[in-house]
Structure 1
Amino acid sequence: MNLVFITGASSGIGQALALAYLQKGWRVAVVARRADTLNAWVQALQKTMVLDSEQVGVFHADVQNTDSLIAAADDCIAQMGVPDVVIANAGISLGIDTAEREDLAVMKQVMETNVLGMATTFHPFIRAMQTRGAGTLVGIASVAGIRGLPGHAAYCASKAAVISYCESLRGELRSSGIRVITIAPGYVATPLTERNRYPMPFLMTPDAFAHQAIQTISRGTSYRVIPWPMGLIAKLLAGLPNALFDRLLTGRPRKHRHSDR
């Protein structure tokens, strides 16, 4: 039975991906800071789904803590084996104002979670996958990584880094049998987006996103924006001259600062 390892699985996209894989009969290793939330979720699932006692593994880790995350990965390998698919999904979105001194620390937090956390998620599995000659590493990026948005500098920069990082890693591992896949969601209705103060076109549910993401992973597509209409918009935005892009952003509400309520 295939195994998938998913970070940030206590809510939103991560939890939807875990559920979708379970429904397909996969074994699932779920990882999050809130192990109690994960355990409660698994217990609730057992009341509605027939789950093998070894089908779900719950691991506690903070993706900002390198040792914690590597320990969770090592525990997963020891208890469940080397995953077939590793999904680095955990991420945070916090608005910043670079004029504010305290927001530099917030930007550091976002970068450490979204970028270094992804590299740390992949790290413990690469050698074992190379030895096996197969495996899939999936980085969850964002369309926000394609062009910068007001107030969103930390998140946009982190997701742009994710896209480039996964592209670099894909080239490095191409001959090893390991696939590296980048998935860039548009707007998904999760706790990450619920406080946004601007329109979110093509907003989709986590379950709908998970269904399309799993199809992308199974096909081995190297890069995909989900949903596809957002992909078309992303391509258009990427090709716009700066002057025109800046004009389009005029009057657009900025991402609220992390301290705003």
Structure 2
Amino acid sequence: MNPFSASRRPAGAIVITGAGSGIGAALARCYARPGQSFLLLGRRQASLAQVASELRQQGADVELATVDVRDPEALARIAADFAKRHGPIALLIANAGISVGSSCELAEDCAIFADVIGTNLLGMHYSIAAFLPYLPAQAQVVGIGSVAGFRGLPGAAAYAASKAAVAVYLESLRLDLRARRISVTCIAPGFIDTPMTADNPYPMPWLMDVQRAARKMRRSIDRRRRLVVMPWQMACLSLALRIMPSFLYERLWPQRLASKPRRSDSFSTKKE
């Protein structure tokens, strides 16, 4: 039984990283209402400004901060300044992430591994660590993982490893925050129609519209669920794959398979 399920979030601001597009922007729209305070963080000022304009039209009070989540000092400064002026933070959504293909065989992809893991795992920790001092009892932390973190995927070792680490990190965080009565939710979506999936060269079963996905995520967040895998078809498939013996799992993948493009000088990694 979830000890937080019957409780309500305290009054306070909503902070979302990677809020300029994709899931982050969609969740911001879901929570927009008159008088609600937001802090939207991301790397692209123009994208953040567009989302902020939409929220303000709904009567929300919105601030922006352009930041790379791999910069813990900058995040700490932003958090302290925002909390000083706006008070406690009721909901922190650590969404910022990067997805790019990688090869374990290529030495030049070491930089990709560092970038992906630095953004998806360390960036999540830095974001949460920066704002955690300003979360009161009954507040919530939400981290966006992925079904890619359940098993290794060809051509995506960096991304899959980072999302597997995110799931375990959030589970540890949940245990650490029990005494403060702060709940932690890990959301592991399948394929969501966002800029991050736009260049995937392979079939994406059960691809979900991002705003529909965000509405489902909000319902799970508001219920303070610990782990959310969506859509339900992907949850069933993920469970089957997790318990599948390795020798059978390996047979699912042909030796030559289309995978997400690797980063090159002409390829810009997609972050949210």
* TM-score when normalising by structure 2: 0.88
- Counterpart of 1:84 in 2: which secondary structure? strand
Matched, 1:104 2:77: no
1:164 aligned residue: 168
Q: What CA distance in whole angstroms lies between the structure 2 residues aligned with 1:127 and 1:45?
A: 26
Which of 59, 63, 67 is the aligned partner of 1:51? 59
Which of 190, 205, 223 is the aligned partner of 2:209? 205
Give, in angstroms, the shift of residue 222 of structure 1: 0.5
1:16 aligned residue: 26
Conserved 8 A contact 2:52-2:63: no
Paired letter, 2:91: V
1:41 aligned residue: 51
> Bigger CA drift: 151-160 or 249-258?
249-258
Q: CA RMSD in A?
A: 1.8
Q: List 4+ stretches of structure 1 deviating above 6 A.
A: none
Give 1:1-261 correspondences, 5 Å limit: 2-23=12-33, 26-43=36-53, 46=56, 49-52=57-60, 55-129=61-135, 132-250=136-254, 251-259=256-264
* TM-score when normalising by structure 1: 0.92
Give, in angstroms, the shift of residue 44 of structure 1: 5.2
Paired letter, 2:92: V
Paired letter, 1:35: Q
Q: Which runs of 5+ in 2 are unaligned?
A: 1-10, 268-272
Give, in angstroms, the shift of residue 226 of structure 1: 1.5
Give, in angstroms, the shift of residue 40 of structure 1: 3.5
Give, in angstroms, the shift of residue 124 of structure 1: 2.3
Q: What CA distance in whole angstroms lies between the structure 2 residues aligned with 1:22 and 1:99?
A: 45
Q: What CA distance in whole angstroms lies between the structure 2 residues aligned with 1:178 and 1:249?
A: 40
Higher relative contact order (CA 8 A, sep 6+): 2
Give, in angstroms, the shift of residue 45 of structure 1: 5.2
Conserved 8 A contact 1:60-1:72: no
Q: What CA distance in whole angstroms lies between the structure 2 residues aligned with 1:115 and 1:143?
A: 15
Q: 1:50 to 1:114 in 2, by over 3 A?
A: closer
Paired letter, 2:17: T
Structure having the higher helix fraction is: 1
Give, in angstroms, the shift of residue 24 of structure 1: 7.9
Give, in angstroms, the shift of residue 197 of structure 1: 1.0
Identity score, percent: 40
In the alignment of these two chains, the number of paired residues is: 255
- Counterpart of 2:112 in 1: which secondary structure? helix
Q: What CA distance in whole angstroms lies between the structure 2 residues aligned with 1:20 and 1:226?
A: 17
Q: What CA distance in whole angstroms lies between the structure 2 residues aligned with 1:170 and 1:57?
A: 28
Paired letter, 1:82: P
- Counterpart of 2:193 in 1: which secondary structure? coil
Conserved 8 A contact 1:10-1:37: yes
Q: 1:128 to 1:73 in 2, by over 3 A?
A: closer
Give, in angstroms, the shift of residue 175 of structure 1: 2.1
Q: Which runs of 5+ in 1 are unaligned?
A: none
